[in-house]
């Protein structure tokens, strides 16, 4: 079972799990118009591919490549470098850092990338953690690195899943308090309603699952029969999980999902909203204003 490969949050999807179905009744809202307009004068607008829900793009590192990188909103900092990339570029270890999976922490080595280039966006002297992520993944899903939250911190990031296009611009912004814009205080935990229960969920594009619910939250929203789903591997720990179907509906801003196959864990501390839920929508993130918007295809 492949859980989120070494990043900071839980993930996983067992074979054969049914994908969530998007609502087609959401009304257009102002933030969603930015999905198209952001491409004008954007710093970058590049296609991406999706493998088991995860976003993959081609990145040049230290002038070499391109290398496959995942875009992971659940990863803190600028990103990660897989051990294979460190070996290929003969990068020296420059220090160490601490990584957490919400249950345990571990010490990991860090390296410095002289340059990381994606489209017209170039970051220099990028310090990232390094681990062997890819050996735990299927060959087609292996990556050379991860772009984390801070890589896109100074602009508006638009992840258009239906069109498989990633856009980044500094010329547009999400406005706090505007209808359809969800504010957050901790990236990227936003209001989520499950049926009649209001809670908070972590939007994580690196998690190849629809939703993961703590057992206590699952019980609050009506619960039901849970099937054994084996163990899930986090960055530093392993947890037992179950799977179940929840009608919900799950509501996140303009996005609505119903009859969703979810994971349930007694140990995991928060609701996780993964790639298999997000992939039906366009996701807009503006860290400058601490705002997020989710847009169904017809709302753009």
The phi-psi region of residue 136 (left if phi > 0; otherwise alpha if psi is between -120 and 50; otherwise beta) is alpha
Give the model's pLDDT for residue 22: 42
pLDDT 10s digits, 160-211 = 999 999 999 999 999 999 999 999 999 999 999 999 999 999 999 999 899 9
pLDDT 10s digits, 110-127 = 999 999 999 999 999 999
CA dihedral sign of residues 173, 177, 178, 181? positive
Give the model's pLDDT for residue 28: 39
Give the model's pLDDT for residue 283: 98
For the range 222-227, what are the long-range contacts, defined as Cβ-Cβ under 8 Å and sequence gap of 24 or more? 222/195, 222/246, 222/247, 226/264
Give the alpha-carbon dihedral of 126, 132, 135, 141, to 10 degrees. -20
Give the model's pLDDT for residue 24: 31
pTM of the model: 0.88
Quick check: 126 and 112 in contact, CB under 8 A? yes
pLDDT band at 101 (very low <50, low <70, confident <90, very high): low
Q: Helix (H, G, I), strand (E, B), or coil: what is residue 156?
A: strand
pLDDT band at 228 (very low <50, low <70, confident <90, very high): confident
Q: Can you list the alpha helix ranges (DSSP code H) found in the chain? A: 34-37, 83-88, 215-220, 275-278
Residue ranges of domains in the chain, CATH in brackets: 21-29+173-299 (2.40.70.10), 46-169 (2.40.70.10)
CA angle 184, 189, 190 (to 5 degrees): 65
Q: Helix (H, G, I), strand (E, B), or coil: what is residue 106?
A: strand
pLDDT 10s digits, 66-92 = 999 999 999 999 999 999 999 999 999
């Amino acid at each position: 079972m492949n859980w989120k490969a070494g990043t900071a949050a839980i993930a996983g999807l067992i074979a054969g799990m049914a994908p969530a179905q998007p609502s087609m009744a959401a009304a257009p809202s102002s933030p969603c118009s930015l999905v198209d307009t952001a491409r004008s004068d954007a710093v970058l607008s590049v296609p991406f591919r999706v493998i088991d829900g995860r976003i993959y793009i081609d990145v040049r590192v230290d002038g070499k490549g391109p290398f496959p990188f995942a875009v992971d909103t659940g990863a803190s900092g600028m990103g990660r470098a897989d051990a294979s990339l460190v070996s290929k570029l003969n990068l020296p270890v420059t220090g160490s850092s601490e990584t957490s999976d919400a249950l345990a922490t571990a010490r990991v080595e860090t390296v410095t990338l002289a340059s990381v280039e994606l489209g017209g966006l170039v970051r220099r002297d990028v310090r990232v953690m390094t681990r062997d992520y890819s050996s735990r993944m299927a060959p087609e899903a292996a990556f050379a690195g991860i772009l984390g939250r801070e890589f896109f911190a100074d602009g508006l990031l638009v992840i258009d899943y239906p069109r498989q296009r990633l856009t980044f611009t500094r010329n547009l912004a999400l406005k706090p308090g505007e209808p359809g814009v969800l504010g957050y205080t901790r990236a990227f935990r936003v209001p989520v309603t499950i049926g009649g229960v209001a809670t908070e969920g972590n939007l994580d594009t690196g998690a190849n699952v629809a939703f993961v619910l703590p057992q206590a939250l699952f019980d609050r929203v009506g619960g039901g029969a849970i099937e054994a789903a084996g163990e899930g591997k986090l960055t530093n720990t392993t947890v037992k999980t179950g799977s179940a179907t929840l009608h919900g509906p799950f509501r996140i801003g303009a996005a609505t999902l119903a009859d969703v196959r979810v994971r349930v864990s007694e140990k995991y501390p928060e609701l996780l909203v993964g790639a298999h839920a997000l992939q039906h929508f366009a996701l807009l993130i503006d860290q400058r204003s601490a705002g997020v918007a989710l847009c169904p295809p017809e709302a753009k």
